[in-house]
Amino acid sequence: MLRIEYAYWLIAAFLLYTGLRNLRERHGWHAAFWLVLGTLFGSGDYVLAQQAAGQILPAQIAGAGVIMLALLAPRLRRHAHVESNSAEQRLQSAIRLGHKLFVPALLIPLVTLLVALFGAHLFIAGHAVFATPQMTLTGLALACLVALFAAAHVAQAPMHDGVAEGRRLLDAIGWAALLPLLLAALGEVFTQSGVGAAIAALAGTFLPTGSAFACLLAFALGMVLFTVIMGNAFAAFPVMMAGIGLPLLIHQHGAHPAILGSMGMLCGYCGTLLTPMAADFNLVPAALLELRNPYGVIRTQVWSALWILAITFMLMWLLLFR
Amino acid sequence: MNYWPLLGVAVIVIGFLLRFNPVLVVVTAAISSALLAGFTVPALLALLGKSFVSSRMLLIFVLTLPVIGLLERAGLREHAQRWIGRLHGLTLARLLIGYLLLRQLLAMLGLTGVAGPAQTVRPLLAPMGEAAAEKILPTLDDADRDELRAVAAATDNIGRFFGEDVFIALGAVLLVQGFYAQHGIELTPLSIALWALPTAIAAFIIQSVRVWLYQRRLQRRAASARTEAAG
């Protein structure tokens, strides 16, 4: 059965390879960074299994590893990667191969789609081929392997050339690759430390509850602000609903529950467009596209988010209290 | 109520503003917030380690890098650019708005993982967009390319976010329904999902207009560059 853990081991192997190549090229800080990260990835399942069994020492060592990564990160230089083929060589190759170059690139979404749609119905000798948790991501990992085979075939290059090219891209991305994970971990630490509860308590003391408009405004802006801080509208929703939505808007002012729930969540989504805490949407693309400003994607999203928020708020005000 | 852990949020804001290394800022914020909440150092390390390894799925995009690296070395970007350059009807705005529509419709069907920054934006949408932009303004510099790629990534995000809420069997709708059910209000998922439609339409219009304005800005720059060259 294909599980998401196999994808993590694959990532670990790639990270360790990147570390070893840097070691051989005598880039000590880069090597240490990728080797520590690769070790964290390879041992992640063990850490979680031990934690579930009540043994927290592995998790503590992993925590120390995370702190080590934070200390190593400022030592890494981010640089655009140097092309291994000249522009002229690439153009010649592009003319020779033509549309065939698109096939492996399209295989990544296509295989992912097939696994997402039909993965649950795939059995070999009575055993499910894909494990249910994270099936789409497992499909994405499989798609990357299939696409690498195809790319090696199309480009008539050995597969390890692909791994070497991938490593050069990863070195160019550098520590930015790590931010999404760290921000997700930070969200978890914030929740455990009671940051959300403290903010909800603060808001409750200042609100004029008699005005439906003031309550709605506090609810919508609270959804945005909370999402910006937590990086996730799903985390903001229960807090804002329990604090303002349910007691004040629905019970006191008679708001329509389905509209409030649906559009309230969408206000949170506008917050997601604005925050580096939603790293997988805002920082990963910036790193992957090699933008020099890690917040470049957020900057272009600001006005879209504010306009969508304004329209959604207006719709709520018009529809909620009919 | 213990308000001290809020200082962790302040660490994030100040650290990002002063442009310290973001990795260092985030880890410092986590440590300070947890310590102020009364965690001991051993408990803090365990929480940090567990939270980190539980989020490993966020690095899965690195598996696309070998494919992208190999294809780019073999001329993927050059081919995408030559191909878009030959398609006369395909302008930058049409490319991005068409992608936005497709992404929203796929997300409405629950297929959010099919497209994305790693799956479609970096290998396909960004190079095609660059080629379409070069048709307008042949002298794109590095800052222009950065902006164009950011617009492509933003279009991808907006299409996904404001499509997925219309799908009844996905997280957001079920979370809303579950919250109400816990508090004694019974709603069908469909009634919640339908009320996401007005915002979905608004988001499509707003982002399309912004893409179109972006294209017009490039066209104006190209026009003024031509007049300068002529004069």
- Say what the pLDDT of residue A78 is: 62
Mean pLDDT of B202-211: 97
Mean pLDDT over A190-209 rounds to 78
Which residues of chain B have a CB within 8 Å of the CB of A202? 3
pLDDT of residue A69: 96
pTM summary value: 0.80
Test A182 with B207 for CB contact under 8 angstroms: no
Is residue A265 over pLDDT 80?
yes
**What local confidence, expressed as pLDDT, does residue A134 receive?**
75
Question: Which uninterrupted H or E stretch holds B130?
Answer: helix B126-136
Q: How distant is the Cα of A312 from the closest Cα of chain B, in angstroms?
A: 6
Interior angle at CA A284, CA A280 and CA A289, nearest 5:
150
Task: Please provide the DSSP assignment of A257-300 as one string.
Answer: HHHHHHHHHHHHHHHHTT-TTSHHHHHHHHHHTT-SSTTHHHHH
All residues of chain A having their beta carbon less than 8 Å from the beta carbon of residue B142 are 292
Which pLDDT band, with edges at 50, 70 and 90, does B179 fall under?
confident
* Distance from C-alpha of A111 to C-alpha of A118, rounded to nearest angstrom: 10
Report yes or no: A99 at the B interface, CB cutoff 8 Å: yes
- Mean pLDDT lowest among A3-7, B1-5, B49-53, B82-86: B82-86
Question: Residue A173: is it exposed, middle or buried by C-beta count within 10 angstroms (0-12/13-18/19+)?
Answer: buried
Here the ipTM equals: 0.83
Give the residue from A264, A244, A265 showing the smallest Cα distance to A317. Answer: A264
pLDDT at A136 over 60: yes
The span from the CA of B132 to the CA of B134, in Å, is: 5
Tell me which of A148 and A114 has the higher pLDDT.
Answer: A148
Condensed to tens digits (0 to 9), the pLDDT of residues B12-24 reads 878 877 878 889 9
Weakest-pLDDT range from A34-38, A225-229, B76-80, B137-141: B76-80
Q: Which of residues 209-228 of A touch B (CB under 8 A)?
A: none
Confidence of residue A182 (pLDDT cuts 50, 70, 90): confident
Q: What is the pLDDT of residues B24-50, one digit of tens each?
A: 998 999 999 999 999 999 999 999 999
Average pLDDT, integer, range B124-138: 91
- Are the beta carbons of A140 and B63 separated by less than 8 Å? yes
Identify residue A293 by its one-letter amino acid code.
N
Question: Per the CB < 8 Å rule, is B73 touching A83?
Answer: yes
Structure tokens at B58: 């966020």
Give contacts of A51 with chain B, Cβ < 8 Å.
46, 50
Q: What is the pLDDT of residue A261?
A: 94
Neighbours of B101 (CB within 10 A): 14
The pLDDT of residue A80:
57
Cβ contacts of residue A31 below 8 Å, gap of 6+? Answer: A19, A20, A22, A23
Contacts with A, B 18-57, CB within 8 Å: 20-24, 26-31, 33-34, 36-37, 39, 42, 44-57
Q: Please determine, for residue B84, whether its predicted confidence score (pLDDT) is greater than 80.
A: no
**pLDDT score at B61:** 82
The reply to whether residue A166 touches residue B55, judged by beta carbons under 8 angstroms, is: no
Cβ atoms of A175 and B23 closer than 8 Å: yes
Q: Bigger pLDDT: B57 or A89? A: A89
| Identity of the residue in B59, B72, B75 whose CB atom sits nearest the CB atom of A91 | B75
Distance CA A34, CA A12 (A): 9
Of A107-111, A301-305, B62-66, B123-127, least confident by mean pLDDT is: A107-111
A148 interaction partners in chain B (CB closer than 8 Å): 66-67, 70
Q: By CA distance, what is A280's nearest residue in B?
A: B58
Residue A192 has a CB neighbour count (10 Å cut-off) of: 19
Q: Do B157 and A281 touch (CB under 8 A)?
A: yes
B90 near A CB under 8 A: no
pLDDT in tens, B100-113: 999 998 888 767 76
Across the interface, of B47, B121, B154, the residue whose CB is closest to A304 is B154
Query: Confidence band (pLDDT; 50, 70, 90) for B168?
Result: low
Question: Helix crossing, B197-230 with B142-164: angle to 10°?
Answer: 160
- Asked if residue A121 has pLDDT above 80, the reply is yes
The two three-digit tokens of residue B82, written as one number: 């030559």
Contacts of A16 in chain B (CB under 8 A): none
**Cross-chain residue pair B58–A48, CB shorter than 8 Å:** no
Band of residue A264 on the pLDDT scale cut at 50, 70, 90: very high
Of the candidates B152, B153, B129, B64, the one whose C-alpha atom is nearest the C-alpha of residue A169 is B64
